[in-house]
Amino acid sequence: MDVGLSLLDRTRTRVGHTDADAIGHTVQRAQRAEALGYDRFWVAEHHGVPGVAGSAPAVLLAVLAGVTSRIRLGSAGVMLPHHQPLVVAEQFATLAAVAPGRVDLGVGRSPGFTAPVRRALRQHETDFAADVAELRDHLEGTAEITAHPRPASPVPLFVLATGQGLDVAAALGLPVVVGGPVLRDPDALDRYRQAFVPSAAQPEPWVGVSLDVLVADTAAAAAELALPEAWAMARARTTGVFPALQPVDSIGEMTATQRRYVEQSRAVTGTPSQVAEELAQLLERTGAAELVASSSTHDRGALAESDAALAEVLSRAGSPVRG
């Protein structure tokens, strides 16, 4: 498995902790990821969601840049419908000026989670392909106006891709990070690669895959670690509220629909050998260049142990991860 390894931390809130605690937990996790030899650490953008304190990727990445020295730092991602491309380019050029060679910009097109959030964001219909192209031009210094500060080299741009996002990335010659249903649709990645138009920054197609990965000493313990996130997703789908992570022993009775959602969760869980085998199959099937582990659970100690075990799994399998 000769692939890069990164973590996507959404700054999940936890029952019994404040939003400020969640930010601190993300900072600590980034520092541990660097010590473990992870290649990259991604943070996300969500608005008005009780279960997520990460709303401002550029600000959070600035904090992480100040407490790390080697690991790459990226957004997974900035949602372009909420922002002007010029402002995003300026924010990430500023980050690149203070952490040269370590900043990556991932963008997506997800709308606000609820109608009130969309109104608060002044969200309106936008042309995602045009916005990505404009953002790329600002980053490369070829737009109608010049964004400042000018970084020593352009900030790498990634598309967090669904079906349409894959088409946009292919047409613009950009790398993609995919998750969810796309991982179960090999034809989608084939279409991206076949339609890819080489660019100066990205001469060949590039794919990263994102999914929850949790490792423990036993399969049962690893599956238990995945339960708080699966339960939160089930509650979001049945109640419309994405909640803070709960301890496993506080999760109560589920409705039949909620139980079905939990059972359908797609996390990769197991012992180190089990996870290594499943990831090897996934990476072979997708041809991915990077694994983006978006894992979360209520037990932070167990999550730290899982992150360390995952780094060890890929290190032993021959990935570039430096343990």
Answer left, alpha or beta for residue 314, where phi above 0 means left and psi between -120 and 50 means alpha. alpha
Closest CA to 95 of 46, 145, 147, 142: 147
pLDDT digits (tens, 9 = 90+) for 137-190: 999 999 999 999 998 888 999 999 877 899 999 999 999 999 988 888 879 999
pLDDT digits (tens, 9 = 90+) for 19-48: 999 999 999 999 999 999 999 999 999 998
pLDDT digits (tens, 9 = 90+) for 292-317: 999 999 999 999 999 999 999 988 76
Range of the domain at 200: 4-213+271-316
Is residue 309 included in any domain, yes or no? yes
Is residue 104 included in any domain, yes or no? yes
Q: How many domains does the chain have?
A: 1
Is residue 255 included in any domain, yes or no? no
Assign residue 119 the CATH number of its domain: 3.20.20.30
Is residue 225 included in any domain, yes or no? no
Is residue 254 included in any domain, yes or no? no
- In our burial notation (b when 16+ CB lie closer than 10 A, e otherwise), range 114-143 reads eeebbeebebeeeebbebbbbbbbbbbeeb
Is residue 109 included in any domain, yes or no? yes
